[in-house]
Structures are given as C-alpha cells and as structure tokens.
Amino acid sequence: MAKPLEGQLALVTGASRGIGAATAIALGAAGAHVVLTARTAKDLEGVEETIFDAGGSATIAPLDLTQTDSIARLATAVGERWQALDVLVLNAGMLGSLAAVPAIDPKELAQVLTLNVSAQVAMIQAFDPMLRKAKSAKVIGVTSSVGRNPRAYWGAYGASKAAFETLLEAYGDETSEISAIRTAVLDPGATRTRMRARAYPGEAPESVKPPEVVAERIVALAIAGFAAGHRERVR
C-alpha cells in the first residue's frame, strides 16, 4: 500500500487518547515516524503498540507540557536523532471547569492558560529550527469553536483557545514568506472524546463522530498541504 508520508517525521501532543491518539495512529499508517507525547506513559505505549501492529513506527515521549524545561529536553532529544520535523500536531489541551466569568477560579484559569497557551508557544519555539529544515512543514493546531464564538460558561477555555489561535496564526504569518512552514487551525467540531463527555455528560456518545474522522482530516492536510493561514471545521 502507498504510504505518502514515508520518510517524514511527525510529532503529536496529547497523543495518549482521543483525537491525538487517533491522529498518531493515522499518521503512522500513512508512513510517518510518529513521536507521541502525553503525560501517561502506559496509554502512550498502547498507542505505540497499535502503530507497530499496523506496520508503522513510533517513539513515545512521556512528559508534562506545563513543565517548560521538559519541552526543551524533548526538542533536544528529537533534534539529536532527526534533522527536520515535517508535521507538528498541537492537540494537547485542558478544559477546566465550566463556570460563569465571575466564578472562574484564578488558579485553575492559570493552569488552563499554561497548557493551552504558554505550552503551545514553548512547543513552537522549541521545534521552530527543525520545522524550518523540513521541505514542507505543517503545523496543525486543534482548537474549538468557542475560541471565535464566545459562549456562556465557556469563558476560560474559550479565551485560551482564542489566544492559541492568534499566536499560531501570527507564527504562520511570520514564516509563510520566508520558509516552507504552513500553519492551520482545525476545529474538530463535536467529537467523541473524554473532554466532550465531561462538557456534555448527558449526551449519547454515539450521537457525535468518533475521533478517527478528525484524524483522517488532519492526515489529509499533512499529505496534501494547505495555503498559509488555513482554517477549517470538521463536519
């Protein structure tokens, strides 16, 4: 079978379950060597085994993205083994508690912003040199509709996604004319994930699409490429 990403390196954050795991498996099936990051080593090992069983290859890197030094160490380790990074999927994120703005817990808000914003910037900064060495680098950020369309009780999470989108798109604007880096913002829409179950506890899981549908779209973008500043919502 044809493997269009053969010889390419991809890195997926939040790869232990949900959209991240499905995307990592799909990238591996397309021929990429996938670096899997998340906090839980056991869950990453399960995803890695699935990729191996399908004939792909992967490397797990358990880490906490909120610890900035761990991102720098990861970039150093990856850079020592590979020269360029072809695909970076920024999927890791934290929902936090859904609350009215006056009731937002400042400490929890700081945690949400650390993972959803600061850690994403740290990832871009750490891997920018490897992205610039790729023939055609794609950085795909997973967002949410509440980043563009504020909704009651979703203020903290929505604000974090709005900031993430702005920073990722600014990076894309900065690099599109001087490198082969292209950035995309992808809203997965209603998807069967643990985060979705927390936000909508009464929803029947089978009523929304599985994460594999989103993963297929991310891999399609990684294969075909996209114009600078691309953004879309998966239906």
Q: Could you state, in order of their start, the residue ranges of all structural domains in the chain?
A: 9-233
Mean pLDDT score of the chain: 97
Mean pLDDT value across residues 88-112 = 98
Backbone torsions φ then ψ of 34, nearest 5 degrees: -110, 125
Q: pLDDT band at residue 234, thresholds of 50, 70 and 90?
A: very high
Per-residue pLDDT tens over the stretch 181-193:
999 999 999 999 9
**Whether the Cβ atoms of residue 100 and residue 89 lie closer than 8 Å to each other:** no
The fourth-level CATH superfamily of domain 9-233 is NAD(P)-binding Rossmann-like Domain (3.40.50.720)
Per-residue pLDDT tens over the stretch 107-122:
999 999 999 999 999 9
Whether 157 sits among the annotated catalytic residues: the reply is yes
Mean pLDDT value across residues 149-172 = 98
- State the pTM of this model: 0.97
Measured distance CA(168)–CA(46) in Å, rounded: 30
**Whether the Cβ atoms of residue 45 and residue 60 lie closer than 8 Å to each other:** yes
Measured distance CA(116)–CA(163) in Å, rounded: 9
Query: What pLDDT was estimated at residue 68?
Result: 73
Mean pLDDT value across residues 60-83 = 95
Count other Cβ atoms within 10 Å, centred on residue 152: 8
Measured distance CA(182)–CA(159) in Å, rounded: 24
Q: Which of 153, 157, 171, 200 is catalytic?
A: 157
Measured distance CA(186)–CA(227) in Å, rounded: 13
**Whether the Cβ atoms of residue 22 and residue 49 lie closer than 8 Å to each other:** no
